[in-house]
Structure 1
Amino acid sequence: MATLSLAFLQSPAFASGLVKQGIDSTDYMITLANYDRGFYTPQVLHIKPSGGKPIEKPYSQLLHLRAEISEFSSRAWLGIDTTGGKKDTTWGKSQDLTEDALNVLQQTFDNIRANKGFVIVRICYDPWYNGRSNVTPEHKWVLRHVEQLAPVLSKNTDVIVALEMGMHGAYGEMHSDTSITYDRVAEATNLMLRSTPPELKILTRTGNYSAKVLGFDNWGVDFHIDGEKFAEIAKAKGDTMYRVGMFNDGYLGTQYDYGTWGADCKTSICREEGVAWLEKYGINTPYGGEALTTANGYQVINTPEFLAYEGFRTHTSYLNIQWNNNLINSWKKTLFKQKDFDYDPAHVDSLTGFKYINDHLGYRFVLRESWLSDTVGSDHMLHAKFRVQNVGFGNLTWMAPVKLAILEDLEGSDLDMCPDMDYVDLPDVDFRDVHSRTISVAGGDTVMTFDGNNEIEVSVKLGKLRYRNYQVYLKVGDIQFANDKPSGKGTCGQEQPAAYLGKFYFNENVQSIAPRIRRSSVQKTETPYVLRTRNHVIIRNGERSYKPNGSKQ
């Protein structure tokens, strides 16, 4: 008997494999506090040679910082005499940015950080952003100021969502200034690109300006993502192609976005060519601006239903909550008319167009499925596989740290004390690759070829395990998932924001079973099978039918 027992002990016992967890996979349709995307609030910062006053209380946690350095431009008039000679018209002075001026900008970023916020930055010479023309200083001063601003911007990429490359024209929108040329905008933007780290995404006002920055001269002919010239430039530019984007302050006002896109595709970038570029190369680059009302005689496209199509192609991630206020108010009064996964008007009577847009700007992660090791054995290896659907218009634009929170399972106890918790880093998992849906356009067909479901597999070695039962949570920075926060599960909430993955048991007398995972951490995009006929698509999660303009039939 003793010999048999010894032989039995030498053969390790094995735990059972992955077990599907009983999680709630519903998108609860709450507006999430992920402030690196969504509706922003604008706030002006007037910077003086003496510094001035920094923004101490940001208007919102997603701020559009409109910093203006008009006092550093001899062409910017700060005050004009309207009294017939009793007062002097005052002008700025082209000079180096002072240390005090740069410190005010830095202190503003520090205050935004302390407010747990994010910021979209634009810097220009238009006094108080009043729309004054011909305020840009001589080009040499623009370049000098770019050199001086770059170190401050580089230091604060943790809170900067994107830099809208103003520096030229009224409102910093690269118009209403006779000194503006494509060459000058490109030189200044490329200097900023070279002087700042790749984490800083830089946006120009139109596709034409971005094309010039990237090295296109004849963009009406060459700016086609499938063309030979485009492929040649993309190869030469490398990752910079994915760093340069655009902001759109004429968004959806007309089919041309008030001149953002060209009407003559031989000399300018038209909407479809621009959208195709943003779709491919802006996949992790912020895109947005100001949505406008429609001018008389133009096609109406500023509807939630149109955004529910094109927004996914452009990865739209931010909009101004204040402008155009008439359009924003109309969205708030209009019910959303089509089904988009959990956002279903048939089940939610009060689902407005504004609610749909607000919740879908940028990324929106929903944990749809989770599988965990039933038992972790003496090797302390935990194996997991989970499916996250990104239902937002866009994708994460920065590298967020990903980790598992491992908690002692106290569910059912009186919870006299908070459970012990350990973290396990997942450095190989990049949530920028948890992509939203893909919509393809070919002739008259509009087809969803990917539904935003992304599968991730991990195998991690846990530290010391002291208890029998554990809970597992997925943390992606401080990003909130759209699933309902777990309640009554025996935690104090210290692991939040996080998504509940499920439970495992620890038994030091067994050895964990490793599923067939290709490496320690695997992330893959699940592209569903597509059965395509004209204006019709069948995908894994069900049947979707679209008209050529993207609206649901």
Structure 2
Amino acid sequence: MKLLRLVGATLVLGLLGPAQLADAHRSNPTDTRTYTASDAVIANQERGFYHHTETHYRADGSGYVPLDAAQLRGFRTQESVTQILRVFYLEKFAGTDKLDPAYLALVRADFRTARAAGVKVIVRFAYAQPPGWPPTIPYGDAPVSRVLKHIQQLTPILRENADVIALVQSGFVGLWGEGYYTDHFADPADPSKVSDQNWADRKAVVMALLRALPRDLMVQVRTPYMKQRMLGLPTGTDGALSADQAYDGSAAARIGHHNDCFLASPDDFGTYLSDPIELDKDFVAQDTNYVPEGGETCAVNSPRSDWESASAEMARLHFSYLNTDYNQDVLGSWGSNITIAKQKLGYRLSLVRGTFTTKTRPGGAVQVALDVRNDGWAAPYHRRQVQLVFQGDKHTYRVNLPADPRLWAAGTTTALKATVRAPIAPGRYRLLLNLADPSRRLQTATFNPIYAVQLANSGTWQAATGYNDLGQTITVSR
């Protein structure tokens, strides 16, 4: 197969076509090696703990505090925290349809800052926080017609910066954007009373967000019933996503969950509404095989909030992320087990063994077979560009492999097998694995070391490139 493209100093090759596969089964020598797992806390993207950040835009234009690149970079390099929740409060605009150009410029700048610092953003928009407790009417959010106009104006920014957006939470509705205390999407005097029209309006907001985002980005809703009601799904396992539905671009395949009162009570302060509660948990447990779950703790509730119960539930519900800032009493009760949470939130991929061709002719067949283990609590929820890398003294060649790490389920080992064409230039090449972000912008030499996946093995990470060294060389000679 001919050379496909040149990216910087890296040549990108292709897989062998069917006519060349027979050559792969000739008696080229092979070698098998095993790998040692690491217990390090790794700064991989779209998983782990996050820091909460928020900013405001009040009637006089005050309150916006831009993100600080040095602080974000410190989160990543000093704490192995690679994501933030950014709540954009829109106080000024609850009563007007048009967003200020100055405000939109500030939001754009925040995404540029996040990218430069090497983190991703969990995005939420909201109109109001309560001035005190209990909250009083009016709460301060906006009607559906205005929300939809605001989403339309935000759409170009969200699409331009999709590479550094981990997720978008449905937001907009109610205090904090959590969907309960609202002037327009429920009865303000009794927010538990949500009419059919209120539900139609809530669905309109979520569908508008899905349309605003690229097909691969997902939206999270605050309770499983929100997804069930909007999409006409039953609770329990039968209503949740199946493997056949996963990643098909439908609304069901793009709506995940965030639980912002995790472990706080039997129903997590109204997160679970089914009777019995376990039906909603069964729904989320099945759904989150393919869509993301995360959130924050909000109250000590022993023994449920203790580590033994908490860790079992995070594993069952495939938690990808958790707030490191709140609730400190709950997180503090976990003691040294917090390190286990840092390791296991989201995916934790490691090499088990690999078998490789060790010698071939220029352009000849190279067979690679890798066993990759996921010891995290969830699979990756975003695509990855999986590449086999031939790294020589003068040139580096990358071959895109037909693998999808979103299917590397928690607690499983996946066999990754491929037959590819060797470089044309004779020489000795190291073999490496690159699990790159799908964004071309983040695959550059500047960003790949930050946004590619580091495998949880000892002695494999090549920090300068973002590649994982397979510990194997291949000789290409005539």
When the two structures are superposed, what TM-score results if normalisation uses the length of structure 2? 0.79
Kindly indicate whether the alpha-carbon contact (under 8 Å) linking 1:165 and 1:202 is maintained by their aligned counterparts in 2.
Answer: yes
Which residue of 2 is the match for residue 6 of structure 1?
none
1:320 to 320, 323, 335: 323
Count of aligned residue pairs for this structure pair = 410
Q: Distance in 1 between matches of 2:460 and 2:144?
A: 56
1:239 to 238, 243, 250: 250
Which residue of 2 is the match for residue 306 of structure 1?
309
Question: 5+ residue gaps in structure 2?
Answer: 1-24, 76-81, 187-198, 437-451
Amino acid at match of 2:390: I
When the two structures are superposed, what TM-score results if normalisation uses the length of structure 1? 0.68
Q: Sort the Cα spacing of 1:378 and 1:199 in 2 relative to 1 into closer, same or farther, 3 A.
A: closer
1:56-455 alignment to 2 at 5 Å?
56-57=68-69, 59=72, 60=75, 61-73=82-94, 93-127=95-129, 134-181=139-186, 182-216=199-233, 222-226=234-238, 239-262=250-273, 264-265=275-276, 270=277, 272-295=278-301, 300-331=303-334, 333=335, 352-408=336-392, 419-437=393-411, 452-455=412-415
Q: Sort the Cα spacing of 1:328 and 1:309 in 2 relative to 1 into closer, same or farther, 3 A.
A: closer
- Matched residue of 2:319: which SS? coil
Root-mean-square deviation (Å): 2.8
Which residue of 1 is the match for residue 194 of structure 2?
none
Aligned residues with identical type, % of pairs: 22
Q: How far apart are 1:390 and its partner, in Å?
A: 0.5
Which residue of 2 is the match for residue 34 of structure 1?
44
Runs of 4+ residues deviating >6 angstroms? 128-131
Q: How far apart are 1:245 and its partner, in Å?
A: 1.2
Bigger proportion of residues as helix: 2
Amino acid at match of 2:291: T
Which residue of 1 is the match for residue 476 of structure 2?
506
Amino acid at match of 1:323: Y
1:43 to 53, 61, 72: 53
Q: How far apart are 1:282 and its partner, in Å?
A: 2.6
Kindly indicate whether the alpha-carbon contact (under 8 Å) linking 1:253 and 1:302 is maintained by their aligned counterparts in 2.
Answer: yes
Q: How far apart are 1:325 and its partner, in Å?
A: 0.4
Q: How far apart are 1:62 and its partner, in Å?
A: 1.2
- Matched residue of 2:112: which SS? helix
Amino acid at match of 2:224: G
Kindly indicate whether the alpha-carbon contact (under 8 Å) linking 2:37 and 2:350 is maintained by their aligned counterparts in 1.
Answer: yes
Kindly indicate whether the alpha-carbon contact (under 8 Å) linking 1:397 and 1:432 is maintained by their aligned counterparts in 2.
Answer: yes
Amino acid at match of 1:194: R
Q: Sort the Cα spacing of 1:495 and 1:110 in 2 relative to 1 into closer, same or farther, 3 A.
A: closer
Q: How far apart are 1:382 and its partner, in Å?
A: 1.0
Q: Distance in 2 between matches of 1:429 and 1:454?
A: 10
Q: How far apart are 1:192 and its partner, in Å?
A: 1.6
Q: Sort the Cα spacing of 1:420 and 1:274 in 2 relative to 1 into closer, same or farther, 3 A.
A: farther
- Matched residue of 2:55: which SS? strand
Q: Sort the Cα spacing of 1:427 and 1:14 in 2 relative to 1 into closer, same or farther, 3 A.
A: closer
Deviation per CA, 1:470-521: give whole Å up to 9, x if none: 321111011111101249xxxx86443414252223332xxxxxxxxxxxxx
Amino acid at match of 2:285: E
Q: How far apart are 1:186 and its partner, in Å?
A: 1.5
Q: Distance in 2 between matches of 1:142 and 1:375?
A: 61
Q: Sort the Cα spacing of 1:226 and 1:281 in 2 relative to 1 into closer, same or farther, 3 A.
A: same
Question: 5+ residue gaps in structure 1?
Answer: 1-12, 74-92, 217-221, 334-351, 409-418, 438-451, 509-553
Q: Sort the Cα spacing of 1:210 and 1:145 in 2 relative to 1 into closer, same or farther, 3 A.
A: same
Kindly indicate whether the alpha-carbon contact (under 8 Å) linking 2:320 and 2:345 is maintained by their aligned counterparts in 1.
Answer: yes
The one of the two structures with greater contact order (alpha-carbon pairs below 8 A, sep at least 6) is 2
Q: Distance in 1 between matches of 2:115 and 2:130?
A: 24
Structure with higher Rg: it is 1
